[in-house]
A and B are shown apart, each in its own frame.
Chain A
Amino acid sequence: MAKKKINIENFVRKLRFNNNEMTQQELADLVGISRQTVVAIEKYKYTPSLELAFKIALAFHKEIQEVFYIGK
Protein backbone atom coordinates (compact mmCIF):
# COMPACT_ATOMS: atom_id res chain seq x y z
CA MET A 1 0.00 0.00 0.00
CA ALA A 2 2.71 2.45 0.97
CA LYS A 3 4.65 1.97 -2.28
CA LYS A 4 1.62 2.12 -4.56
CA LYS A 5 1.63 5.28 -6.66
CA ILE A 6 -1.38 7.51 -6.19
CA ASN A 7 -2.71 9.34 -9.24
CA ILE A 8 -3.89 12.73 -8.10
CA GLU A 9 -6.34 14.24 -10.56
CA ASN A 10 -8.28 17.50 -10.45
CA PHE A 11 -11.22 19.55 -11.65
CA VAL A 12 -9.17 22.67 -12.38
CA ARG A 13 -10.20 22.93 -16.03
CA LYS A 14 -13.87 22.45 -15.18
CA LEU A 15 -13.69 24.95 -12.33
CA ARG A 16 -12.04 27.55 -14.55
CA PHE A 17 -14.92 27.35 -17.00
CA ASN A 18 -17.43 27.52 -14.17
CA ASN A 19 -15.72 30.68 -12.91
CA ASN A 20 -16.67 32.98 -15.80
CA GLU A 21 -14.41 31.05 -18.19
CA MET A 22 -11.30 32.09 -16.34
CA THR A 23 -8.22 31.79 -18.54
CA GLN A 24 -5.17 29.75 -17.62
CA GLN A 25 -3.16 32.97 -17.41
CA GLU A 26 -5.67 34.52 -15.00
CA LEU A 27 -5.49 31.48 -12.72
CA ALA A 28 -1.70 31.48 -12.97
CA ASP A 29 -1.57 35.16 -11.95
CA LEU A 30 -3.99 34.53 -9.09
CA VAL A 31 -1.89 31.79 -7.50
CA GLY A 32 1.54 33.06 -8.58
CA ILE A 33 2.62 30.35 -11.01
CA SER A 34 3.35 30.23 -14.73
CA ARG A 35 0.71 29.42 -17.33
CA GLN A 36 2.75 26.35 -18.33
CA THR A 37 2.35 24.98 -14.80
CA VAL A 38 -1.43 25.43 -14.99
CA VAL A 39 -1.38 23.50 -18.29
CA ALA A 40 0.70 20.70 -16.69
CA ILE A 41 -1.66 20.50 -13.68
CA GLU A 42 -4.76 20.33 -15.90
CA LYS A 43 -3.21 17.53 -17.96
CA TYR A 44 -2.27 15.67 -14.72
CA LYS A 45 1.38 15.87 -15.79
CA TYR A 46 2.34 17.69 -12.63
CA THR A 47 1.01 17.26 -9.10
CA PRO A 48 1.24 20.56 -7.22
CA SER A 49 2.62 20.86 -3.70
CA LEU A 50 0.15 20.97 -0.84
CA GLU A 51 0.62 24.74 -0.54
CA LEU A 52 -0.07 25.32 -4.22
CA ALA A 53 -3.04 22.94 -4.15
CA PHE A 54 -4.54 24.99 -1.30
CA LYS A 55 -3.89 28.23 -3.20
CA ILE A 56 -5.68 26.85 -6.27
CA ALA A 57 -8.60 25.68 -4.15
CA LEU A 58 -8.78 29.11 -2.49
CA ALA A 59 -8.75 30.80 -5.92
CA PHE A 60 -11.97 28.91 -6.72
CA HIS A 61 -13.40 29.40 -3.18
CA LYS A 62 -13.49 25.62 -2.74
CA GLU A 63 -12.16 23.07 -0.28
CA ILE A 64 -9.05 21.23 -1.46
CA GLN A 65 -10.91 17.91 -1.80
CA GLU A 66 -13.40 19.60 -4.12
CA VAL A 67 -10.57 20.42 -6.53
CA PHE A 68 -8.17 17.50 -6.16
CA TYR A 69 -9.08 13.83 -5.88
CA ILE A 70 -7.46 10.42 -6.16
CA GLY A 71 -7.94 9.00 -9.64
CA LYS A 72 -8.12 5.36 -10.68
Chain B
Amino acid sequence: MNIKIRNTLTEIISAAIAIIWMYSKLNAAANMSITSITQVLVQGIGISILAAIFFAIVIAIVSAIMTQSKEKNVVDERDNIIEFYALRLSSVIFGISLVIILTLLGWFNLPINFGIIAITFSVFLASICSTFLKIYLYK
Protein backbone atom coordinates (compact mmCIF):
# COMPACT_ATOMS: atom_id res chain seq x y z
CA MET B 1 0.00 0.00 0.00
CA ASN B 2 1.54 3.28 -1.06
CA ILE B 3 1.61 6.56 0.84
CA LYS B 4 -1.18 8.14 -1.24
CA ILE B 5 -3.64 5.36 -0.46
CA ARG B 6 -2.59 5.39 3.20
CA ASN B 7 -3.29 9.13 3.44
CA THR B 8 -6.65 8.67 1.73
CA LEU B 9 -7.60 5.86 4.10
CA THR B 10 -6.75 8.18 7.00
CA GLU B 11 -9.27 10.70 5.65
CA ILE B 12 -11.97 8.04 5.35
CA ILE B 13 -11.35 6.67 8.86
CA SER B 14 -11.43 10.13 10.45
CA ALA B 15 -14.63 11.12 8.61
CA ALA B 16 -16.28 7.81 9.58
CA ILE B 17 -15.31 8.29 13.25
CA ALA B 18 -16.75 11.82 13.24
CA ILE B 19 -20.00 10.63 11.62
CA ILE B 20 -20.42 7.79 14.13
CA TRP B 21 -19.64 10.12 17.06
CA MET B 22 -22.10 12.78 15.86
CA TYR B 23 -24.77 10.17 15.12
CA SER B 24 -24.50 8.81 18.66
CA LYS B 25 -24.85 12.33 20.11
CA LEU B 26 -27.76 13.36 17.91
CA ASN B 27 -30.23 10.62 18.79
CA ALA B 28 -32.78 13.02 20.20
CA ALA B 29 -32.21 15.73 17.62
CA ALA B 30 -35.90 16.62 17.39
CA ASN B 31 -35.90 17.66 21.05
CA MET B 32 -32.50 19.38 21.00
CA SER B 33 -32.02 23.11 20.64
CA ILE B 34 -30.22 24.59 17.65
CA THR B 35 -27.36 25.64 19.96
CA SER B 36 -26.74 22.13 21.29
CA ILE B 37 -26.99 20.61 17.80
CA THR B 38 -24.49 23.14 16.47
CA GLN B 39 -22.16 22.37 19.36
CA VAL B 40 -22.26 18.65 18.55
CA LEU B 41 -21.63 19.31 14.86
CA VAL B 42 -18.69 21.65 15.55
CA GLN B 43 -17.23 19.12 17.99
CA GLY B 44 -17.69 16.43 15.35
CA ILE B 45 -15.76 18.48 12.78
CA GLY B 46 -13.03 19.04 15.40
CA ILE B 47 -12.91 15.31 16.13
CA SER B 48 -12.55 14.52 12.44
CA ILE B 49 -9.59 16.93 12.16
CA LEU B 50 -7.90 15.56 15.30
CA ALA B 51 -8.56 11.96 14.19
CA ALA B 52 -7.05 12.72 10.77
CA ILE B 53 -3.87 14.10 12.39
CA PHE B 54 -3.68 11.22 14.89
CA PHE B 55 -4.17 8.47 12.30
CA ALA B 56 -1.77 10.12 9.86
CA ILE B 57 0.96 10.03 12.54
CA VAL B 58 0.13 6.48 13.69
CA ILE B 59 -0.07 5.05 10.16
CA ALA B 60 3.18 6.79 9.17
CA ILE B 61 4.97 5.34 12.22
CA VAL B 62 3.54 1.81 11.73
CA SER B 63 4.38 1.90 8.02
CA ALA B 64 7.94 3.12 8.69
CA ILE B 65 8.45 0.31 11.22
CA MET B 66 7.03 -2.35 8.89
CA THR B 67 8.85 -1.27 5.73
CA GLN B 68 12.01 -0.02 7.48
CA SER B 69 12.00 3.05 5.24
CA LYS B 70 10.45 6.50 5.15
CA GLU B 71 8.47 7.16 1.97
CA LYS B 72 8.48 10.77 0.77
CA ASN B 73 5.09 12.35 0.14
CA VAL B 74 5.73 14.25 -3.09
CA VAL B 75 2.73 16.08 -4.53
CA ASP B 76 2.90 16.25 -8.33
CA GLU B 77 0.61 17.05 -11.28
CA ARG B 78 -1.13 13.66 -11.14
CA ASP B 79 -2.03 14.25 -7.49
CA ASN B 80 -3.44 17.66 -8.40
CA ILE B 81 -5.58 16.13 -11.17
CA ILE B 82 -6.87 13.38 -8.86
CA GLU B 83 -7.56 15.99 -6.17
CA PHE B 84 -9.49 18.03 -8.76
CA TYR B 85 -11.63 15.02 -9.78
CA ALA B 86 -12.33 14.26 -6.12
CA LEU B 87 -13.29 17.87 -5.46
CA ARG B 88 -15.65 17.84 -8.44
CA LEU B 89 -17.31 14.64 -7.26
CA SER B 90 -17.72 15.93 -3.71
CA SER B 91 -19.24 19.20 -5.02
CA VAL B 92 -21.73 17.24 -7.13
CA ILE B 93 -22.69 14.93 -4.25
CA PHE B 94 -23.03 17.85 -1.84
CA GLY B 95 -25.08 19.84 -4.35
CA ILE B 96 -27.46 16.96 -5.02
CA SER B 97 -27.86 16.13 -1.34
CA LEU B 98 -28.47 19.80 -0.51
CA VAL B 99 -31.33 19.96 -3.04
CA ILE B 100 -32.79 16.66 -1.75
CA ILE B 101 -32.54 17.88 1.88
CA LEU B 102 -34.22 21.20 1.14
CA THR B 103 -36.95 19.43 -0.84
CA LEU B 104 -37.58 16.93 1.95
CA LEU B 105 -37.61 19.68 4.57
CA GLY B 106 -40.32 21.51 2.66
CA TRP B 107 -42.23 18.40 1.60
CA PHE B 108 -42.53 16.81 5.05
CA ASN B 109 -42.44 20.09 6.95
CA LEU B 110 -39.47 18.91 9.02
CA PRO B 111 -37.84 21.11 11.70
CA ILE B 112 -34.71 23.03 10.74
CA ASN B 113 -32.72 20.83 13.20
CA PHE B 114 -32.88 18.00 10.70
CA GLY B 115 -31.77 20.31 7.92
CA ILE B 116 -28.62 21.40 9.75
CA ILE B 117 -27.75 17.81 10.70
CA ALA B 118 -28.45 16.49 7.19
CA ILE B 119 -26.33 19.19 5.56
CA THR B 120 -23.38 18.44 7.87
CA PHE B 121 -23.71 14.71 7.24
CA SER B 122 -23.88 15.29 3.50
CA VAL B 123 -20.58 17.19 3.72
CA PHE B 124 -19.00 14.13 5.35
CA LEU B 125 -20.71 11.80 2.86
CA ALA B 126 -19.34 13.87 -0.04
CA SER B 127 -15.90 13.78 1.58
CA ILE B 128 -16.00 9.98 1.98
CA CYS B 129 -17.20 9.44 -1.60
CA SER B 130 -14.44 11.66 -2.97
CA THR B 131 -11.80 9.79 -0.97
CA PHE B 132 -13.09 6.48 -2.36
CA LEU B 133 -12.72 7.97 -5.84
CA LYS B 134 -9.13 8.95 -4.95
CA ILE B 135 -8.37 5.38 -3.85
CA TYR B 136 -9.82 4.09 -7.13
CA LEU B 137 -7.72 6.52 -9.16
CA TYR B 138 -4.55 5.79 -7.20
CA LYS B 139 -4.98 2.02 -7.65
Task: Kindly provide the distance from the CB of A27 to the nearest chain B CB, expressed in whole angstroms.
Answer: 12
A51 to B2, CA, bound (A): 25
Question: What string of 1s and 0s marks CB contacts (under 8 Å) between B60-79 and chain A?
Answer: 00000000000011111111
Chain A residues closer than 8 Å to B75, beta-carbon distance:
34
**Total cross-chain contacts (CB, 8 A):** 32
Which residues does chain A contribute within 8 Å of B78, judged by CB atoms? 33-34, 36-37, 40, 46
Q: Is the Cβ of A48 less than 8 Å from the Cβ of B77? A: yes
Nearest to B138 among chain A residues (CB) is A36
Report chain A residues within 8 Å CB of B138: 36
Closest residue on chain A to residue B81 by CB atoms:
A46
Would you call A49 an interface residue if the criterion is a C-beta within 8 Å of the partner chain's C-beta atoms? yes
Residues of A within 8 A of B3 (CB): 34, 36
Q: Does A28 contact B (CB under 8 A)?
A: yes
Q: Contact flags (1/0) for B27-63 with A, using CB distance below 8 Å?
A: 0000000000000000000000000000000000000
Which residue on chain A has the smallest CB distance to residue B77? Answer: A49
Chain B residues near A37 (CB, 8 Å)? 76-79
Interface residues of B (CB under 8 A from A): 2-4, 72-79, 138
Q: What 11 additional pairs, Cβ within 8 angstroms, besides A32-B76, A33-B76, A37-B79?
A: A32-B74, A33-B74, A33-B78, A34-B74, A35-B2, A36-B2, A36-B3, A36-B4, A36-B78, A37-B78, A46-B78
